[in-house]
Structure 1
């Protein structure tokens, strides 16, 4: 891989490793800045000494790469809000009782079933200056209006810290929010909110106003709501209002990437703007004017699209391509890619942990690296055949590159991605050009009806094609388990296969076989560790009781009839199954006594009947039994009490107090998440 020979590539790798180190290990700030100062001093010394001495030059290279690692750590520290002294995370009282919080609305999120959701910036708590980002949840029933971006609010409430997953192997939403510098949520009713007179007018405000103006004018033009929401996602990258059914169709068809603005979209826009500017002469002055217009156009599009990670990445990269073309130099696409990664992560290191950002760059790298090799396999003579072949090879290269990461995050693989890309990419280029034109005209209140109808019909038929492909569910491979070690070794196998195909040799074949062996060992270790495990889990399932006993790969489920009948479709069990390479071996009705590894477990349900003079190891309270726990402890002395989420919240508070009085550990799944015995 020649790209690794570029000094900038090694510096970028060192920088990214530094970001990961700081994110996961939270090193001492003072120590890191001392090391940074020493590294800079050593680097400066080597720079002046190393000009004619090869040995010192090697030390200079080592210090440079080490410095890039330290700069990565420093960058992550500087950009991590929780390291800032005036961040709300350091004020514990705000998580314990109501306070007056001054907020500014930054971004509108997708609404939940019960609330309107925003990202908000804290400016003051009880008139004391504080900073930080939170999720603001406002009850839907009482919601009379949506708040524009930049609106200042005064809200009375208690901040809730991000919680770990409620159930095993579930998506860690709290950690995801933390990667976005969001450490808490605020739940409020409209009656708790006072709207301020000031509006913060910044780039986010004007971007939102422009988007709102475009959407409002399209709605006035009787643009169908379903197609409008897809158009807004395709052109502006805003997915908040797309229905879950349409997103599901795009996922199953392998086309969900087109709903977030990426390199494909920005590439179309660059080609479109370049085509429009063709009449301008290619003189030095004319080329400079073209470059300025292209850079402004790309930047404006990025702002309208809300500066999402994928948009910023694509706009940055294609801006470098445009600058390189203007300088009349052949642009090394790898250099362009690396510079854009380094530049973006220097200013916004949190993008590294964005799934879309990761998938975009990996897809782009494999298209650049693998597609020429695939394209050389067959050289079609006709233009139509070549066009189709290029689409297929680009799709295959991107899919191969993102395969391990996609399976790791989503546990599924769309088998008809070839067909999807073959059908939609030609149409998408037309929709993008038409969409940009319509959006531009909508910003100035001048949309010709025939253009908006043409865009609407194009998206309508695009959705129909996607739905038809997604309905062929037999081609969608689902519930694929993949751990981090398998994902990493999977990439090792893919990369060594491509290296061998590019230039077959005995040494490369040996490396490939070693990679395959490492992958197999990793797979066997993952499965063997699962087979040795035995555990017993009480899940956190609202209004229901769900217990699982796992012996290696076999899971036995204990619950009531309604849950047992739908256990195969139950998402809580599905994630648990996939995460542990397991299968649902047996389903059993929940009984009062359960035994696990010598422990006696008594389940007390809504009947409230329990044996006297019994001392189980664990007492499980389900379905809100009408009992006095203080009186129960006179006849039964459990070592542990667990209350699942089928119980009323108010009763659980009383039980917690009773257990505290008797010094018996109490675990409420509603508060602490699932309970597990190993």
Structure 2
């Protein structure tokens, strides 16, 4: 507690959030908790001398209670059923553009039906003109309440949207009328400016892939990126390059700082840091304060506050404080997968990077430092995040280590070039030569990433992992540091015991799941699915085999990873079939 108080109390705050989310307390219990927390706070303030030994316990208890209280007020909402029909005339305005699908453009917005106002996801026919932030819109819409999934292995989209206070989807017809806003807010004006720059990028002569990449890597707009490109970035482990993250913010901060120190005197150097921090916050606001951007800006700001105060920067203090500030404003951020992965990656870099560097030759040259740090940071971050990656996505590619080693050293050049391209386009400066160089460079980059993604021999999917296995793997990562630093018998045996515990848990989980037999009948869009599971084998009968790829991605793969299926078959299900045979057993389809 004496060394890392901020990190420890933040972890206690997170435990309180998890407790309230899994074992929700009612309002009366929460109000009693508030009284208890006030009592602890008063005791710590007035009787700290007498409570010296118990102070750490009381502090942890205080922040645990605060986690419960803040999460209660962040998630509490009275259950009210909107008095709306299935088909209504809806007045709405958009607040955010979402990923485009094969049939629809998707937006997040606020809809008004009669006296009811509610957040919603808007589905608009793909051939409809682009909506903007300076108009109100009106259209006929089909309203559907978002329902939770039927089975536990399916992604709970309803819960995901519930955390954003969204419970309805609106499917709009083509006849959308509009009226210009007379009360455009400052934030809507900023969003409109960003939208106009995105439209200017669309009007350049670059290829579609280069335009969508530019919009994604600088302006955080991945809505038009095709599924193939996203798949390549995911399979190669380079999705962090496409999504704006800490790397982008650090590079943009460094670029702005570099320009300032060349123009201002040495005695005013600290103001260069302040102006650079202000710039990245303005940039973050311009691109919409995305969760990953907000986390990166917060952590970088806290880190450089230590520098400005002439105190030794402490990565764990910055990590704990930034996480606490973000969660105080919105405790639901903790359940964002990006939040968990980004903070765990930083912890992994803190814990493993220096020990790994010590195993490399001496870094006495710039290129050695760049190459070795790239390798060790990539390995440390991927080892730390691997348990959660397997738990949420059930896939992993060993090629990602090689891909990051080759691509990441050039990420600074890519980000700076992309930023300068965006600035030129924003000011309507069009240099055909620069556009051509950027276009060809990005197309080459995408081809290299596609090549990495196609190395199937190093790609593994449908990897079943439960929470107990995640905890045991994180324990292995924790004990790995001692083995890297001092490879002695004691540290090696501790790591070996943790590996043994992991395999015991995994074997037990496999045996437990393989004892279950299951028969399910499910409607997937217009496709009907009948499945039978016996042991670690399953067979899926589907009515429309032409829709097989989407079926595998959204239904079969999640089922196999959840039920620890080793082998599965896919067969056609004719409409006239009423009985099916699987492993010498007859099943009736009702």
| TM-score for both structures, normalised by structure 1 | 0.79
CA distance in 1, matches of 2:83, 2:550: 42
CA 578–563 in structure 1, closer or farther in 2 if over 3 Å, else same:
farther
Q: How far did 1:371 drift?
A: 0.8
CA deviation map 1:264-284 (0-9, x unaligned): 11111121111111131232x
CA 8–558 in structure 1, closer or farther in 2 if over 3 Å, else same:
same
Q: How far did 1:249 drift?
A: 1.2
Task: Report what 1:139 is aligned to.
Answer: 125
> Is this contact kept in 2: 1:413–1:476, CA < 8 A?
yes
Q: How far did 1:42 drift?
A: 3.0
CA distance in 1, matches of 2:119, 2:544: 43
Q: How far did 1:245 drift?
A: 0.8
CA 556–227 in structure 1, closer or farther in 2 if over 3 Å, else same:
closer
> Is this contact kept in 1: 2:538–2:569, CA < 8 A?
yes
CA distance in 2, matches of 1:549, 1:160: 31
CA 200–416 in structure 1, closer or farther in 2 if over 3 Å, else same:
farther
Aligned residues: 584
Residue 115 of structure 1: which of 95, 99, 104 is its match? Answer: 104
CA deviation map 1:293-320 (0-9, x unaligned): 1122101221232211110011111122
Residue 93 of structure 1: which of 78, 83, 87 is its match? Answer: 83
Residue 161 of structure 1: which of 120, 145, 162 is its match? Answer: 145
Residue 127 of structure 1: which of 88, 96, 115 is its match? Answer: 115
> Is this contact kept in 1: 2:33–2:65, CA < 8 A?
yes
Residue 74 of structure 1: which of 69, 73, 84 is its match? Answer: 69
Secondary structure of 1:190's aligned partner? coil
CA 349–203 in structure 1, closer or farther in 2 if over 3 Å, else same:
farther
Higher relative contact order (CA 8 A, sep 6+): 2
Task: Report what 1:470 is aligned to.
Answer: 453
CA 280–321 in structure 1, closer or farther in 2 if over 3 Å, else same:
farther
> Is this contact kept in 2: 1:111–1:117, CA < 8 A?
yes
> Is this contact kept in 2: 1:152–1:199, CA < 8 A?
no
Secondary structure of 1:498's aligned partner? helix
TM alignment of 1:220-299, pairs within 5 A: 220-278=203-261, 279-283=263-267, 286-299=268-281
CA distance in 2, matches of 1:557, 1:58: 61
Report the structure number with the largest CA radius of gyration.
1
TM alignment of 1:45-64, pairs within 5 A: 45-51=43-49, 53=50, 56-64=51-59
CA 324–29 in structure 1, closer or farther in 2 if over 3 Å, else same:
same
Q: How far did 1:37 drift?
A: 2.3
CA distance in 2, matches of 1:294, 1:412: 38
| RMSD of Structure 2 on Structure 1 (CA) | 3.0
Task: Report what 2:161 is aligned to.
Answer: 177
CA deviation map 1:398-429 (0-9, x unaligned): 11111111122222212212321222123221
CA 138–67 in structure 1, closer or farther in 2 if over 3 Å, else same:
same
Secondary structure of 2:264's aligned partner? coil
CA distance in 1, matches of 2:150, 2:187: 34
Q: How far did 1:166 drift?
A: 5.3
Q: How far did 1:346 drift?
A: 1.3
Residue 592 of structure 1: which of 556, 578, 581 is its match? Answer: 578
CA distance in 1, matches of 2:543, 2:164: 39
TM alignment of 1:195-210, pairs within 5 A: 195-198=178-181, 201-202=184-185, 204-210=187-193
Gaps of 5+ in 1: 604-619, 621-678
CA 121–588 in structure 1, closer or farther in 2 if over 3 Å, else same:
closer
Secondary structure of 1:186's aligned partner? strand
> Is this contact kept in 2: 1:99–1:126, CA < 8 A?
no
Task: Report what 2:378 is aligned to.
Answer: 395
| TM-score for both structures, normalised by structure 2 | 0.90
CA distance in 2, matches of 1:232, 1:239: 7
Residue 39 of structure 1: which of 37, 40, 47 is its match? Answer: 37
> Is this contact kept in 2: 1:564–1:587, CA < 8 A?
no
> Is this contact kept in 1: 2:33–2:69, CA < 8 A?
no
CA distance in 1, matches of 2:183, 2:20: 32
CA distance in 2, matches of 1:258, 1:449: 26
Task: Report what 2:340 is aligned to.
Answer: 358
CA distance in 2, matches of 1:566, 1:323: 50
